[in-house]
Homo-oligomer: A and B are copies of this chain.
Amino acid sequence: MKTPPADLAERLLDASEQVLFTDPPPRLEDVAQLVGASRATLYYYFSGRDDLLTFLLTAHARRGAAAIQGAINSDDPPELRLRAMVAAMAGYLGHHPGMCAGLLTALGTTGRLNDVLQANDIWIAAPLRELLADGRETKAFAVDDIADAANALLGAVLLGVLGRSISGADATDLRFQQRLSEQVVRGILTR
Protein backbone atom coordinates (compact mmCIF):
# COMPACT_ATOMS: atom_id res chain seq x y z
CA MET A 1 0.00 0.00 0.00
CA LYS A 2 1.42 3.35 -1.13
CA THR A 3 0.08 5.80 1.48
CA PRO A 4 -2.46 7.95 -0.36
CA PRO A 5 -2.23 11.76 -0.29
CA ALA A 6 -3.99 13.42 2.61
CA ASP A 7 -6.98 14.72 0.70
CA LEU A 8 -7.73 11.41 -0.94
CA ALA A 9 -7.36 9.65 2.40
CA GLU A 10 -9.73 12.19 3.86
CA ARG A 11 -12.36 11.62 1.22
CA LEU A 12 -12.00 7.86 1.57
CA LEU A 13 -12.52 8.03 5.30
CA ASP A 14 -15.53 10.26 4.77
CA ALA A 15 -17.01 7.68 2.46
CA SER A 16 -15.99 4.72 4.58
CA GLU A 17 -19.43 4.04 5.98
CA GLN A 18 -20.78 3.86 2.46
CA VAL A 19 -18.02 1.46 1.56
CA LEU A 20 -18.11 -0.75 4.63
CA PHE A 21 -21.78 -0.84 5.48
CA THR A 22 -23.52 -1.16 2.18
CA ASP A 23 -25.31 -4.03 0.58
CA PRO A 24 -24.24 -5.24 -1.88
CA PRO A 25 -20.60 -4.23 -1.37
CA PRO A 26 -19.83 -1.38 -3.75
CA ARG A 27 -17.71 -1.97 -6.82
CA LEU A 28 -14.33 -0.31 -6.82
CA GLU A 29 -15.64 1.83 -9.63
CA ASP A 30 -18.39 3.14 -7.37
CA VAL A 31 -15.96 3.80 -4.58
CA ALA A 32 -13.78 5.71 -7.00
CA GLN A 33 -16.70 7.82 -8.13
CA LEU A 34 -17.71 8.39 -4.52
CA VAL A 35 -14.37 10.00 -3.76
CA GLY A 36 -13.98 11.69 -7.13
CA ALA A 37 -11.14 9.59 -8.46
CA SER A 38 -10.81 6.86 -11.04
CA ARG A 39 -10.68 3.17 -10.45
CA ALA A 40 -7.09 3.08 -11.66
CA THR A 41 -6.10 5.66 -9.10
CA LEU A 42 -7.33 3.45 -6.32
CA TYR A 43 -5.25 0.66 -7.76
CA TYR A 44 -2.31 2.97 -7.81
CA TYR A 45 -2.42 3.43 -4.07
CA PHE A 46 -3.92 0.15 -3.01
CA SER A 47 -2.98 -3.29 -4.22
CA GLY A 48 -6.63 -4.22 -4.41
CA ARG A 49 -9.95 -4.25 -2.64
CA ASP A 50 -8.59 -5.91 0.47
CA ASP A 51 -5.81 -3.41 0.73
CA LEU A 52 -8.31 -0.58 0.57
CA LEU A 53 -10.47 -2.13 3.25
CA THR A 54 -7.39 -2.64 5.36
CA PHE A 55 -6.57 1.02 5.01
CA LEU A 56 -10.03 2.12 6.05
CA LEU A 57 -10.32 -0.21 8.99
CA THR A 58 -6.82 0.49 10.20
CA ALA A 59 -7.46 4.21 10.11
CA HIS A 60 -10.67 3.70 12.05
CA ALA A 61 -8.86 1.57 14.56
CA ARG A 62 -6.43 4.40 15.22
CA ARG A 63 -9.16 7.00 15.47
CA GLY A 64 -11.19 4.78 17.73
CA ALA A 65 -8.17 4.16 19.90
CA ALA A 66 -7.60 7.91 20.18
CA ALA A 67 -11.23 8.47 21.14
CA ILE A 68 -11.01 5.75 23.73
CA GLN A 69 -7.79 7.08 25.17
CA GLY A 70 -9.36 10.48 25.43
CA ALA A 71 -12.25 9.10 27.42
CA ILE A 72 -10.05 7.55 30.07
CA ASN A 73 -8.64 9.21 33.12
CA SER A 74 -5.47 7.29 33.80
CA ASP A 75 -5.60 8.10 37.50
CA ASP A 76 -8.88 6.30 37.99
CA PRO A 77 -8.98 2.79 39.39
CA PRO A 78 -9.21 -0.04 36.85
CA GLU A 79 -12.93 -0.58 37.26
CA LEU A 80 -13.75 3.00 36.35
CA ARG A 81 -11.28 2.98 33.50
CA LEU A 82 -12.80 -0.19 32.14
CA ARG A 83 -16.29 1.26 32.25
CA ALA A 84 -15.08 4.35 30.46
CA MET A 85 -13.21 2.33 27.90
CA VAL A 86 -16.11 0.07 27.05
CA ALA A 87 -18.53 2.96 26.88
CA ALA A 88 -16.17 4.84 24.58
CA MET A 89 -15.81 1.78 22.36
CA ALA A 90 -19.54 1.39 22.14
CA GLY A 91 -19.83 5.09 21.42
CA TYR A 92 -17.32 5.07 18.62
CA LEU A 93 -18.70 1.91 17.07
CA GLY A 94 -22.24 3.14 17.44
CA HIS A 95 -21.37 6.08 15.24
CA HIS A 96 -19.54 3.83 12.79
CA PRO A 97 -21.53 0.65 12.33
CA GLY A 98 -19.59 0.09 9.15
CA MET A 99 -16.51 -0.46 11.22
CA CYS A 100 -18.32 -3.17 13.18
CA ALA A 101 -19.35 -4.86 9.98
CA GLY A 102 -15.91 -4.50 8.45
CA LEU A 103 -14.17 -5.87 11.49
CA LEU A 104 -16.45 -8.85 11.69
CA THR A 105 -15.91 -9.53 8.02
CA ALA A 106 -12.19 -9.32 8.59
CA LEU A 107 -12.49 -11.83 11.40
CA GLY A 108 -14.56 -14.09 9.21
CA THR A 109 -12.10 -14.15 6.35
CA THR A 110 -9.39 -15.91 8.32
CA GLY A 111 -6.15 -14.60 7.04
CA ARG A 112 -6.90 -12.28 4.22
CA LEU A 113 -7.24 -8.92 5.97
CA ASN A 114 -4.80 -10.10 8.57
CA ASP A 115 -3.35 -6.61 8.78
CA VAL A 116 -6.70 -5.34 9.94
CA LEU A 117 -6.73 -7.76 12.81
CA GLN A 118 -3.19 -6.89 13.68
CA ALA A 119 -3.93 -3.18 13.69
CA ASN A 120 -6.92 -3.72 15.90
CA ASP A 121 -4.93 -5.88 18.18
CA ILE A 122 -2.33 -3.17 18.57
CA TRP A 123 -4.63 -0.20 18.89
CA ILE A 124 -7.69 -1.58 20.59
CA ALA A 125 -7.11 -4.98 22.10
CA ALA A 126 -3.64 -4.39 23.55
CA PRO A 127 -4.66 -1.41 25.71
CA LEU A 128 -7.66 -3.40 26.85
CA ARG A 129 -5.49 -6.32 27.83
CA GLU A 130 -3.17 -4.01 29.67
CA LEU A 131 -6.07 -2.59 31.61
CA LEU A 132 -7.33 -6.06 32.41
CA ALA A 133 -3.89 -6.99 33.67
CA ASP A 134 -3.86 -3.88 35.87
CA GLY A 135 -7.22 -4.73 37.31
CA ARG A 136 -6.20 -8.27 37.98
CA GLU A 137 -3.20 -6.95 39.84
CA THR A 138 -5.39 -4.93 42.20
CA LYS A 139 -7.87 -7.78 42.59
CA ALA A 140 -10.56 -5.64 41.01
CA PHE A 141 -11.00 -8.04 38.11
CA ALA A 142 -11.41 -11.79 38.16
CA VAL A 143 -9.72 -12.79 34.95
CA ASP A 144 -7.82 -15.93 34.24
CA ASP A 145 -6.67 -15.78 30.64
CA ILE A 146 -6.47 -12.13 29.73
CA ALA A 147 -6.45 -12.58 25.98
CA ASP A 148 -9.55 -14.76 26.08
CA ALA A 149 -11.37 -12.33 28.32
CA ALA A 150 -10.48 -9.44 26.04
CA ASN A 151 -11.74 -11.29 22.98
CA ALA A 152 -15.05 -12.05 24.63
CA LEU A 153 -15.39 -8.48 25.81
CA LEU A 154 -14.72 -7.07 22.38
CA GLY A 155 -17.13 -9.52 20.84
CA ALA A 156 -19.87 -8.47 23.20
CA VAL A 157 -19.38 -4.83 22.32
CA LEU A 158 -19.10 -5.43 18.58
CA LEU A 159 -22.13 -7.63 18.25
CA GLY A 160 -24.08 -5.67 20.78
CA VAL A 161 -23.63 -2.51 18.76
CA LEU A 162 -23.96 -4.10 15.35
CA GLY A 163 -27.07 -6.02 16.33
CA ARG A 164 -28.67 -2.82 17.44
CA SER A 165 -27.68 -1.00 14.26
CA ILE A 166 -29.05 -3.78 12.10
CA SER A 167 -32.33 -3.93 13.96
CA GLY A 168 -32.78 -0.26 13.24
CA ALA A 169 -32.56 0.81 16.86
CA ASP A 170 -30.36 3.73 17.80
CA ALA A 171 -26.91 2.43 18.64
CA THR A 172 -25.70 5.86 19.69
CA ASP A 173 -28.20 6.04 22.52
CA LEU A 174 -26.32 6.71 25.73
CA ARG A 175 -28.52 4.54 27.89
CA PHE A 176 -27.91 1.64 25.55
CA GLN A 177 -24.18 2.12 25.80
CA GLN A 178 -24.52 2.36 29.55
CA ARG A 179 -26.36 -0.95 29.79
CA LEU A 180 -23.97 -2.68 27.43
CA SER A 181 -21.01 -1.41 29.38
CA GLU A 182 -22.61 -2.55 32.60
CA GLN A 183 -23.21 -6.06 31.34
CA VAL A 184 -19.74 -6.40 29.91
CA VAL A 185 -17.90 -5.02 32.92
CA ARG A 186 -19.87 -7.13 35.39
CA GLY A 187 -18.59 -10.22 33.64
CA ILE A 188 -15.09 -9.23 34.67
CA LEU A 189 -15.48 -7.86 38.17
CA THR A 190 -14.66 -9.88 41.26
CA ARG A 191 -17.82 -10.66 43.13
Q: At the interface, yes or no: A74 with Cβ under 8 Å from chain B?
A: no
Size bin of chain A's contact surface: 35 or more
What does the 1/0 interface line of A169-191 toward B look like (CB < 8 Å)? Answer: 00000001001100111111100
B152 close to A156 (CB less than 8 A): yes
A154 close to B159 (CB less than 8 A): yes
Q: At the interface, yes or no: A46 with Cβ under 8 Å from chain B?
A: no
What does the 1/0 interface line of A19-36 toward B look like (CB < 8 Å)? Answer: 001111100000000000
On chain B, the residues within 8 Å of A154 by CB distance are: 159
A179 close to B148 (CB less than 8 A): yes
What does the 1/0 interface line of A124-151 toward B look like (CB < 8 Å)? Answer: 0000000000000000000111011101
